[in-house]
């Protein structure tokens, strides 16, 4: 969907081809490609896609279309036939006018749409285990989910972010038992979260030699399950201070949630799921456990109740999914969870489908991602005793940027704020700039580079646009722009990218892949940098200056909007 004033070139091309071929316009639009370089046209239409319907060879179809097509020269300048392709060159002045008028009208809303029509998109992401500081292992789910939350919102969906906390299980028995044994040995008054972690690590270590500790933890957890008031109060306190601790990290990462309903929330909802599975004839006994047999679908059984009579992760996810169906009536439910959980989600989705919720399961998607690894490919924090906490990583990034500023631009105002935006932005962009399914390589030298394909590079180019506008002292009004003077190849390439912004955002949402937007922002930064280096923005010819300044302004808007959709913030100076 293009905004008001925006010419939909693909739609116009498809309409013209449809009139010649009598084929479906929407289908034809989907076939239109962008050639690898602009010498081959702005768009290309592969005629071999029509060979079956038209029963002709692609080069003949291409020539027939060229001979018979009626083109509006305000939209299409010319069409060349190369083999079985139509190479289409659009009217550049119309392109420039369309893009810049749209930016002038919509400003920071440029690229947004009402495509979502306020339909609900539910995204489950982050979901750390409480009673532990936020580990770097939860970085990827947090920033991927946070970006998708913002992207769907920008496309007119009503996005609901759910932080499905790991807030139940034997680990809380261990934490409480550890606190009762060693509360006087740690500084709970001044560093409660750190002290809880220390007691938990110590408990896990000592129980290997002292099995009575495991029994003690089980007793505490049983008391919690039974709802003993004092134990429940202690659990709630641990849960609350954990969330308070996470909020600092979420604030830095610009992540927000609409629900913190974790595993514990579903404790009283699992009996209903078990009963429903029983009534629908899906549960059967196997070695003392209750399972749903999925052999017919080439999957191992989904265990719903263990042989010890306890519910399991899958039981909670089934209960959570049913509750979300009833509560949100979602258009899409997205689980941003690591790729090691792929089988788990296949099982849960299949069980819900067998229960009769197939219409909703079609709207559910697991969005997997790889690990965070160092430059040698080793999982960060995987070695024993080598936990890497996200808050420490973010603070270290901020400090490193502060050192760079002190070295290169010590007089800069608001150093702390700029260091925060650049340091945290570098971490976020490093995560999102490659396909999420690949492992993320964490390398300080790479991610804080101001010249490479990094977050700081995009921020640097944005700051360059701001300083050019500041130097000129004004932003031209749209009626002062002479569209015809923006005709250099570097200007046109930059404007073509601006034109694609909405399509890029839609594509990122369709594929649940924020890297599509991240890579686009690198391309736009590099193209503008080429334009800027080859053509003076501030010049004596006023109409050229106005046009180039407005293009600079438009690039700045799109870069800022784009990085904010990824969860980053833009500094105004660097």
Q: Name the pairing type of β-strands 332-336 and 372-374.
A: unpaired
Cβ neighbours for 104, distance < 8 A, ≥ 6 positions apart: 477, 478, 550
Question: What is the rounded CA–CA span in Å between residue 484 and residue 482?
Answer: 6
**53 token code pair:** 């319907």
Q: DSSP letter for 80, please.
A: E
DSSP one-letter string for 34-62: --SSGGG-SEEEEGGGGHHHHTS-HHHHH
Question: What is the rounded CA–CA span in Å between residue 397 and residue 444?
Answer: 8
Q: 390-408 and 229-253 helices cross at what angle (nearest 10)?
A: 30
**542 token code pair:** 């006023």
Residue 65: count other Cβ atoms within 10 Å of its Cβ.
21
- Cβ atoms of 305 and 289 within 8 Å: the answer is yes
Cβ neighbours for 377, distance < 8 A, ≥ 6 positions apart: 439, 441
User: Where is 491: in which H helix or E strand?
Assistant: helix 489-499
**561 token code pair:** 């909007």
Q: 139-154 and 415-432 helices cross at what angle (nearest 10)?
A: 90
- 3-class DSSP state of 205: helix
10-18: which pairs have CB atoms within 8 A and are 24 or more residues apart? 10/43, 12/72, 12/75, 12/76, 13/43, 13/45, 13/75, 13/76, 13/88, 16/69, 16/70, 16/71, 16/76, 17/45, 17/65, 17/69, 17/86
Supply the residues annotated as catalytic: 132, 135, 138
Question: What is the rounded CA–CA span in Å between residue 146 and residue 124?
Answer: 10
- Cβ atoms of 163 and 142 within 8 Å: the answer is no
**246 token code pair:** 């996470």
């Amino acid at each position: 969907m293009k905004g008001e004033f925006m010419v939909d070139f693909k739609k116009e091309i498809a309409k013209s081809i449809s009139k010649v071929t009598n084929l479906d316009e929407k289908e034809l639009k989907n076939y239109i490609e962008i050639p690898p370089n602009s010498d081959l046209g702005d768009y290309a239409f592969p005629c071999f896609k029509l060979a079956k319907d038209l029963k002709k060879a692609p080069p003949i179809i291409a020539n027939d279309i060229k001979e018979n097509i009626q083109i509006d020269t305000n939209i299409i300048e010319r069409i060349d036939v190369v083999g079985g392709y139509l190479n289409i060159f659009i009217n550049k002045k119309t392109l420039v006018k369309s893009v810049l008028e749209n930016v002038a009208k919509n400003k920071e809303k440029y690229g947004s749409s009402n495509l979502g029509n306020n339909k609900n998109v539910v995204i489950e992401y982050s979901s750390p285990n409480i009673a532990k500081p936020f580990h770097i292992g939860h970085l990827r789910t947090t920033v991927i989910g946070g970006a998708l939350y913002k992207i769907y919102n920008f496309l007119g969906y009503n996005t609901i972010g759910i932080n499905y906390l790991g807030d139940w299980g034997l680990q809380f028995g261990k934490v409480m038992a550890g606190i009762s044994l060693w509360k006087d040995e740690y500084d709970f008054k001044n560093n409660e979260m750190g002290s809880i972690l220390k007691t938990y690590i110590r408990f896990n270590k000592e129980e290997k030699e002292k099995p009575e500790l495991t029994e003690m933890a089980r007793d505490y957890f049983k008391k919690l399950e039974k709802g003993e008031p004092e134990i429940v109060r202690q659990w709630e306190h641990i849960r609350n201070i954990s969330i308070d601790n996470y909020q600092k990290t979420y604030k830095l990462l610009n992540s927000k949630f609409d629900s913190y309903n974790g595993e514990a929330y579903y404790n009283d909802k699992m009996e209903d799921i078990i009963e429903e599975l029983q009534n629908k004839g899906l549960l059967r006994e196997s070695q003392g456990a209750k399972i749903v047999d999925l052999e017919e679908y080439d999957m191992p059984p989904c265990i719903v109740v263990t042989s010890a009579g306890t519910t399991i992760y899958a039981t909670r996810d089934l209960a959570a999914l049913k509750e979300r169906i009833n509560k949100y009536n979602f258009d899409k439910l997205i689980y941003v969870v690591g790729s090691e959980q792929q089988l788990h989600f296949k099982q849960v989705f299949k069980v819900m489908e067998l229960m009769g919720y197939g219409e909703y399961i079609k709207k559910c998607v697991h969005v997997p991602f790889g690990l965070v690894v160092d430059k040698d490919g080793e999982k960060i924090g995987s070695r024993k005793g080598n936990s890497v906490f996200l808050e420490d990583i973010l603070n270290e990034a901020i400090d490193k940027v502060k050192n760079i500023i002190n070295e290169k631009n010590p007089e800069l105002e608001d150093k702390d704020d700029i260091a925060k935006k650049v340091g945290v932005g570098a971490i976020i962009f490093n995560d999102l700039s490659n396909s999420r399914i690949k492992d993320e390589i964490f390398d300080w030298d790479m991610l804080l580079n101001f010249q490479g394909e990094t977050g700081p590079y995009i921020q640097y180019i944005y700051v360059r646009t701001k300083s050019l506008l500041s130097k000129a002292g004004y932003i031209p009004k749209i009626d002062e722009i002479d569209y015809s003077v923006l005709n250099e190849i570097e200007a046109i390439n930059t404007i073509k990218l601006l034109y694609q912004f909405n399509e890029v955002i839609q594509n990122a949402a369709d594929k649940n892949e924020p890297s599509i937007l991240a890579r686009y922002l690198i391309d736009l930064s590099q193209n503008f940098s080429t334009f800027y280096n080859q053509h003076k923005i501030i010049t004596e010819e006023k109409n050229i200056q106005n046009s180039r300044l407005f293009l600079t302004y438009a690039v700045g808007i799109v870069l800022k909007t784009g990085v904010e959709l990824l969860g980053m913030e833009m500094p105004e100076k660097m």
